[in-house]
A = this chain, B = another copy of it.
Amino acid sequence: MITKIAITDDHNMVLQGIQSMLSDTKEIKIVGLYNNGSETLNGVVKDEPDILLLDINLPDINGIDLCKALKKANPILKIIALSNYDEVSFIKRMLNAGADGYLLKNTDKLELLTAFKTVLNDEQYLQRDIEKKLLNQSIGKKTTNNLLIKLTRREKEVLEAIAEELTTQEISEKLFISHKTVETHRMNIMSKLGAKNSVGIIKTAIENNLL
């Protein structure tokens, strides 16, 4: 049985690279190559791949939303996220969005084939290094409180307002609450993010994609 693969990446080099890796494997057939989100959405309907290798960083839409949309339209399609980044927050969100696997672009042919087998078997495939990272993180080994940063709805609103360079006073007016409340939220955010001041909040927030 032949497995039909499609690939989405805005970098031709990567498309070419994967094609080349898989060219001498008989059980694999590449049925679609897409450069962006909209091509992918249309393409998978036409080409009916079994597995989609999906680069997360696309020009027209972010990987998380695209992954959700694809899975909604076609739950049978297996999606393996492809990324340069091994940030835990990112990975978690992709998996939550329905991705069946997560690979970094330093993958080799063997791992690619293993990943295909695994997801076709309805299991989740994570690159070795990534699995380790997720484990370490959930055990809480690292002092770098990498993730698990859970801000409440209100805290997120305050965070965004801080990022807009608003003062406490301005934020309180924007959210119709007391400036004292805003301060409390800011303090709690600082504490959750391990920041010493608002600068630290913004740094950590950006690093962890909270904005």
Contact B203 A163 (CB under 8 A): yes
- B-facing mask of A186-211, CB < 8 A → 1, else 0? 00000000011111111100100000
Chain B residues in 8 Å Cβ range of A11? 14, 17, 84, 104-106
Kindly list 11 other residue pairs between chains A and B, CB separation below 8 angstroms, not including A11-B104, A13-B13, A14-B17. Answer: A11-B84, A16-B16, A16-B21, A17-B17, A19-B20, A20-B20, A35-B106, A84-B84, A162-B199, A198-B198, A198-B199
A85 to chain B, nearest CB (A): 10
Would A105 and B200 count as touching, CB distance under 8 A? no
Between A and B, 29 residue pairs with Cβ closer than 8 Å are A11-B14, A11-B17, A11-B104, A11-B106, A12-B105, A12-B107, A13-B14, A13-B18, A13-B105, A14-B105, A16-B17, A16-B20, A16-B21, A17-B17, A17-B20, A20-B20, A162-B199, A163-B199, A163-B203, A165-B195, A165-B196, A165-B197, A165-B203, A197-B198, A199-B201, A199-B202, A202-B202, A203-B206, A206-B206
Looking at chain A, what size class is its interface with the partner chain?
A: 20 to 34
- A17 nearest CB neighbor, chain B only: B17
Contacts of A107 in B (CB 8 A): 12-13
A122 at interface, CB cutoff 8 A: no
When distances are taken between beta carbons in the complex, the residues of chain B under 8 Å from A104 are 11
- Indicate the member of A17, A18, A21 with the most B CB atoms within 10 Å: A17
A17 to B163, CA, bound (A): 38
* A contact residues vs B (CB 8 Å cutoff): 10-21, 35, 57, 84, 104-108, 162-163, 165, 167, 195-203, 206
Chain B residues within an 8 Å CB radius of A108: 12
**What chain B residues lie within 8 Å of A201 (beta carbons)?**
199
CA distance A35 to B107 in the complex (A): 12
Measured between alpha carbons, how far is A20 from B104 in the docked complex, in Å? 20
Distance of A121 from chain B, by nearest CB (Å)? 24
A-B interface, 6 closest residue pairs, ranked by CB to CB distance from nearest: A17-B17, A13-B17, A20-B20, A11-B105, A16-B17, A165-B196
